[in-house]
Amino acid sequence: MHEIKRAIIMAAGRGERLRPLTDRTPKPLIRVQGIRMIDSVIRALHENEIREIYVVVGYLQEAFLTLPVQYPGLHLIENPDYDCCNNISSLYAARDYLSDCMILDGDQIIRNPAVCGRFFERSGYQAVWTEDATTEWLMQTDEDGWVTKCSRTGGERGWQLYSVSRWSEKDGAALKECLQKVYREEKKTNLYWDDVAMFCYPERFHLGVFPMQKDDVVEIDSLEELRQADPSYR
């Protein structure tokens, strides 16, 4: 059994699909029903006694300066490459904190804090089983629950991947090593960080899934989805 010691929250992106709201406010700081999205993430971590938190910032990073004051134990990490690289650059900026860690996106709403439980047996992702076709990342598993493959373009009958994942000390060290190879040595700066374990070096990792309900975590990727979550934006 492993225990989460720290969390990394990705919050450096521009959130262009929520423009014009994100022209002046970073997407993780957008309020949904009165609560900033990143606050729902941090509070869920705190409910599970995870208080060593690193928030990777870039776009409009000055807007996040009050977070370390509001949440003792929270630290900001600057991603200087957020404007020219994909989010692999954000995890690379936080690579020294990957041991026994949880990695989450700051622009989602965590409605069920149980998804941030700090004890785990295997590294892997929160996921929702879907029978229907989806265009989201979709994982397949074997009879023992190990991930055997993942599709970037979706499919049907599989585990839809969500942006809450856990990494043991061993897997965190491997992830750091592979990040160095992919991002710095191979210069693949346009990738998502999840590509590193899922597609670049899948032989280095044995990942599982953490089943949850669809409404436990809400991902907002468009203005229409924001309106559905908070009718005041209509």
- Helix, strand, coil percentages (3-state) for the chain, rounded to 5, are 35, 30, 35
* Tally of CB atoms within 10 A around 75: 14
How do strand 208-211 and strand 138-141 relate by DSSP bridges? unpaired
Break the chain into its structural domains and give their ranges. Answer: 2-233
CA distance 216 to 111: 5
Among the residue ranges 49-63, 69-83, 91-105, 220-234, the one predicted with the least confidence is: 220-234
pLDDT tops 90 at residue 121: yes
pLDDT tens for 144-153 read 999 999 999 9
Q: Where are the alpha helices (DSSP H) in 48-115?
A: 67-70, 88-93
pLDDT tops 90 at residue 130: yes
> For residue 209, what is the enclosing H or E element?
strand 208-211
Confidence of residue 70 (pLDDT cuts 50, 70, 90): very high
Q: What are phi and psi of 127, to 5 degrees?
A: -155, 155
Q: What angle do CA 37, 164, 35 make, to 5 degrees?
A: 10
* Domain 2-233 is found in CATH 3.40.50.300: no
The pLDDT of 66-94, averaged and rounded, is 96
Confidence of residue 234 (pLDDT cuts 50, 70, 90): confident
Q: Are 45 and 53 in contact (CB under 8 A)?
A: yes
Q: Are 64 and 26 in contact (CB under 8 A)?
A: yes
Sign of CA dihedral 204, 194, 104, 163: negative
pTM of the full structure: 0.94
The pLDDT of 167-190, averaged and rounded, is 95
Give residue for tokens 């040595």: 185
Give residue for tokens 């493959």: 149
Residues forming beta bridges with residue 105, ordered by sequence position? 10
pLDDT tens for 191-216 read 999 999 999 999 999 999 999 999 99
The pLDDT of 136-156, averaged and rounded, is 92
pLDDT tops 90 at residue 165: yes
The pLDDT of 66-79, averaged and rounded, is 97
